[in-house]
Amino acid sequence: MPSDVVQFSDGEKLLVCGFMGPMNAERCQQVQDDLLDKIGQTDGIVNFDMKEVTFASSSFLRIVLTVNKRVGKDRLKITNVDPQVKKVFKMSGLWDALGMG
């Protein structure tokens, strides 16, 4: 998996997925399978750390929805969201649907 897109940090009952740069369709396609495999190996909290994300495409929103469906919104946390990226989540209705509001 390209380390310039996402880096993982495993802790006890916590998997931090630190995304970097624009999460466009191409970059999402590069990481999706490995990301879902990694998430499938944890039974703890999954934290999507978005502090270095500059853009989120519909492909990234699809990944968020897929992860939410697999782990549940109680185990999925999305943190450090740039205001412009937050707008995308809000416009899609995901921000409130995931309990982020």
The pTM assigned to this predicted structure is 0.91
- Assign 3-class secondary structure to 22-43: EECHHHHHHHHHHHHHHHHCCC
Domain membership of residue 1 (yes or no) is no
Residue-by-residue pLDDT tens, the chain, 101 positions: 456 888 888 777 999 999 999 999 999 999 999 999 999 999 999 999 999 999 999 999 999 999 999 999 899 999 999 999 999 999 999 999 988 86
Reference 5, options 22, 14, 15, 13; nearest CA is 22
Q: How many domains does the chain have?
A: 1
Q: Which domain holds residue 76?
A: 6-94
Tell me the CATH number at 68: 3.30.750.24
Query: Is 89 inside a domain boundary?
Result: yes
Check if the beta carbon of residue 80 is closer than 8 Å to that of residue 50: yes
In this prediction, residue 3 carries a pLDDT of 67
CA distance 18 to 84: 18
CA gap 25, 23 in Å, rounded: 7
Q: Determine, yes or no, domain membership for 35.
A: yes
- CB atoms near residue 28 (< 10 Å): 22
pLDDT of residue 66: 97
Residue 47 resides in a domain: yes
